[in-house]
């Protein structure tokens, strides 16, 4: 009976019509007609009403709402309409329901959902036709179906939780009814699951996460699905620590869903209701800011404070102005000399970027470099630094100073641009001898994609340029990757040098790093030298090169010439 039902598909996209026809015919439906012209479809429907209409909303000449209006006004018998739409907002659904729609099919189509909803709708029509004379029973069926659709309009189809529109209404109703705390829970790496295992597994995992979160929340809490991988939770009262701990404990270990092991993370931002807001969007914005701050600091849970908004506004201002800093010539290069520890002779310098803003004044590198890294602005800034340092070094070498300039390169520059090509072009433009340039890269930048990093460094080394590994020992230090890379220099991080006169562990670590460098055929450079003890200790363990405030603070390029003309050994009084 159901398979012989006459079904009309109306969608201005031929591919959608063909896809639905194929799905239905493959499932045994015998009378499926397709139309891409809504006017022609309406004419056919009015002449011979089918058993079911699958109707697209957005179409040229006559949209789905207009077609529904004609059908419901001119056909008096029961004709169910299922709306086809890519829009999921409540307004669209309510308008369609008001116009006569009985159900929805979301684009892109899911075959199981399509067949399930069509079968349900046809069964409803069959019940209606068979028991038309029982008006009371029909009203009950329609009422139940309407309630189900109203539930669908206010709940997420995958998680079953209240959706964003429903959360907004519920929060609005809370005004004046006490205090509580809001959690915004983000499930990280959820997108990777869908990418690797397919959207069906991704939806299963999302649904399971929703169930697990709901089970860990108090019964009087308000919970909903905000979208993406974010869940909204309101807990009345002031004790949210237990909830946070339960969530983080659950996601701290590999999870198994239907026999599939998945590794996920949860990050949580919290804020107070009503102190931090009385509207859902405001609360989510503030909890989200706290969560992002926590991610930046490497912690899983972070509470909101007004200071975070002030910091965010400042970061936004820095981001906005930083993109203009290069073209407005607001950046300057400072240079910190490097000395040969055996005799105190200056043999090079490290280029350090400084930003002098006309209104903000001196902007600390600690403020703008992280912002530049996050936003990608580090790429144009890094290009400017590289080119300007090469220009300056060329000028100094032409004056007879046999020095090497070291330029820091970020991870973004490794992955976002053709770094070897850029270096080669700047060598041609500036005329710098490749031996006058050293590229410094940190461990963290390398480990994101070691194979790509090796290829980039190999290409740079082939140009005759030295390569230093900066901040060695502070990250994932490994001999296995050190041997793979074309390094020439290993830099001992200043965190080891700073307390050499107080900490024997730092002495042992520094001695080991220098010995390791020599064992790999690399030069050792120590940064952060601030005392005679530091300098003498490093010289005694055969560390070749050093830099730090004992010798010189970073200085403008114009001051470097004056500094280097003073007898260098006066700056390094060896005992």
Q: Which of 182-186, 216-220, 335-339 has the lowest mean pLDDT?
A: 216-220
As given in the structure block, the two tokens for residue 204 are 């299963």
Annotate 389-445 with DSSP letters as a single string: HHHHHHHHHHTT---EEEEEE-HHHHHHS-HHHHHHHHHHHH---GGGEEEEEEHHH
pLDDT of residue 474: 64
What pTM, to 2 d.p., does this model score? 0.60
pLDDT of residue 562: 82
Tell me: pLDDT of 571 over 50.
no
By the 8 A CB rule, do 11 and 84 touch?
yes
The confidence score (pLDDT) of residue 475 equals 57
Give residue 570's pLDDT: 39
pLDDT by residue (tens digit) across 76-116? Answer: 888 999 998 887 677 777 888 888 888 888 888 889 888 99
* pLDDT tens column, 354-390: 998 888 888 888 888 888 888 778 888 889 999 999 9
Nearest-angstrom CA–CA distance, 202 and 189: 10
Sole residue written with tokens 């890519």: 86
Q: Which two tokens stand for residue 59?
A: 């179409």
Q: Does the pLDDT at position 236 exceed 80?
A: yes
Per-residue DSSP letter, 162: B
Mean pLDDT calculated for residue range 327-335:
90
SS3 readout for 103-159 = EEEECCCCHHHHHHHHHHHHHHHHHHHHCCCCHHHHHHHHHHHHHHHHHHHHECCCC
Three-state secondary-structure class, residue 92 = helix
Q: What is the pLDDT of residues 54-77, one digit of tens each?
A: 999 888 888 889 999 999 999 888
Q: How many CB atoms lie within 10 A of CB 443?
A: 19
Return the pLDDT at 572.
Answer: 35
pLDDT of residue 575: 31
Place of tokens 């060329």: 394
169/287 Cα distance (integer angstroms): 19
- CB 111: neighbour CB atoms within 10 A? 14
Using the predicted structure, report yes or no on whether residue 569 has a pLDDT greater than 50: no
From the centroid of its chain, how far is CA 537? Answer: 44
Yes or no: say if 237 and 222 are a contact pair by the CB < 8 Å rule: no
Cβ atoms of residues 8 and 53 within 8 Å: yes
What residue has token string 């280097």? 564
**Distances 57 to 38, 69, 107, 108, 573 between C-alpha atoms, Å:** 10, 12, 11, 14, 83
The backbone torsions φ and ψ at residue 64, rounded to the nearest 5 degrees and listed phi first, read -60, -35
Average pLDDT for the chain: 87
Q: What digits encode the pLDDT tens for the residues 422-469? A: 999 999 999 999 999 999 998 777 766 778 888 999 999 999 999 999
Using the predicted structure, report yes or no on whether residue 507 has a pLDDT greater than 50: yes
Give the pLDDT score at 254. Answer: 83
Q: Using CA atoms, how far apart are residues 556 and 549, in angstroms rounded to an integer?
A: 15
Exposure class string for 308-336: b at 16+ Cβ within 10 A, else e: beeeeeebeebbebbeebeeeebbebbbb
Cβ neighbours of residue 321 under 8 Å, at least 6 residues apart?
357, 360
DSSP 211: H
pLDDT tops 80 at residue 338? yes
pLDDT band at 142 (very low <50, low <70, confident <90, very high): low
Which domains does the chain carry? Answer: 2-132 (3.40.50.2300), 164-304 (3.30.70.270), 329-565 (3.20.20.450)
Determine the pLDDT at residue 365. 84
For 213-217, 253-257, 309-313, 471-475, which range has the lowest pLDDT when averaged over its residues? 471-475
Residue 124 neighbours by CB distance under 10 Å: 20
Q: Residue 346: in which H helix or E strand, if any?
A: strand 345-357
pLDDT for position 133: 56
Give pLDDT, residue 135: 56
Q: Return the number of other C-beta atoms located less than 10 Å from residue 421's C-beta.
A: 10
Return d(Cα 495, Cα 501) in angstroms, integer: 13
């Amino acid at each position: 009976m159901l398979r012989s039902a006459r079904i009309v598909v109306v969608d201005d996209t031929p591919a959608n019509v063909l896809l639905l026809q194929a799905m239905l015919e493959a499932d045994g439906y015998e009378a499926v007609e397709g139309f891409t012209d809504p006017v022609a479809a309406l004419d056919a429907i009015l002449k011979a009403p089918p058993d079911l209409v699958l109707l697209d909303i957005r179409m040229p000449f006559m949209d789905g709402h207009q077609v529904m209006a004609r059908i419901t006004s001119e056909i008096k018998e029961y004709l169910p309409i299922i709306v086809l739409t890519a829009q999921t907002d409540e307004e669209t659904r309510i308008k369609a329901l008001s116009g006569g729609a009985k159900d929805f099919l979301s684009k892109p189509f899911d075959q199981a959902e399509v067949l399930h909803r069509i079968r349900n709708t046809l069964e409803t029509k069959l019940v209606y036709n068979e028991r038309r004379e029982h008006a009371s029973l029909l009203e009950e069926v329609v009422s139940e179906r309407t309630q189900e659709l109203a539930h669908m309009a206010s709940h997420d189809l995958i998680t079953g939780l209240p959706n964003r529109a429903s959360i907004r209404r519920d929060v609005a109703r809370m005004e004046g009814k006490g205090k509580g705390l809001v959690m915004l829970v983000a499930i990280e790496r959820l997108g990777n699951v869908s990418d690797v295992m397919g959207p069906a597994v991704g939806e299963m995992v999302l649904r399971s996460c929703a169930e697990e979160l709901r089970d860990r929340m108090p019964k009087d809490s308000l919970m909903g699905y905000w979208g993406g991988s974010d869940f909204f939770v309101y807990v009345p009262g002031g004790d949210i620590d237990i909830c946070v701990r339960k969530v983080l404990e659950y996601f701290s270990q590999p999870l198994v869903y239907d026999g599939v092991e998945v590794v996920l993370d949860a990050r949580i931002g919290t804020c107070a209701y009503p102190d931090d807001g009385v509207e859902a969007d405001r609360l989510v914005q503030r909890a989200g800011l706290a969560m992002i701050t926590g991610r930046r600091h490497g912690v899983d849970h972070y509470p909101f404070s007004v200071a975070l908004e002030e910091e965010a506004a400042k970061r936004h201002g820095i981001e906005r102005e930083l993109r203009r800093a290069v073209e407005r010539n607001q950046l300057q290069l400072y240079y910190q000399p490097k000395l040969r520890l055996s005799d105190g002779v200056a043999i090079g310098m490290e280029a350090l970027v400084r930003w002098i803003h006309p209104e903000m004044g001196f902007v600390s590198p600690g403020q703008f470099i992280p912002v530049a890294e996050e936003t990608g602005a580090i790429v144009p800034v890094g290009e400017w630094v590289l080119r300007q340092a090469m220009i300056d070094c060329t000028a100094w070498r032409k004056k007879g100073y046999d020095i090497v300039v070291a330029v820091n390169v970020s991870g973004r520059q490794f992955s976002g641009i053709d770094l070897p090509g850029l270096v080669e072009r700047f060598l041609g433009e500036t005329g710098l001898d490749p031996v006058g340039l050293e590229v410094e890269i940190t461990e963290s930048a390398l480990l994101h994609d070691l194979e790509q990093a090796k290829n980039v460094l190999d290409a740079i080394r082939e140009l005759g340029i030295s390569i230093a590994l900066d901040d060695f020992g502070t990250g994932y230090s490994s001999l296995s990757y050190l041997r793979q890379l074309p390094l020439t220099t290993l830099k001992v991080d200043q965190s080891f040098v700073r307390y050499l006169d107080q900490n024997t562990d730092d002495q042992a670590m520094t001695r080991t790093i220098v010995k390791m460098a020599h064992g790999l055929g690399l030069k050792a450079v120590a940064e952060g030298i601030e005392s005679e003890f530091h300098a003498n200790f490093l010289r005694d363990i055969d560390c070749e090169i050093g830099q730090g405030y004992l010798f010189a603070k970073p200085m403008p390029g114009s001051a470097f010439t004056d500094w280097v003309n003073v007898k260098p050994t006066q700056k390094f009084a060896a005992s």
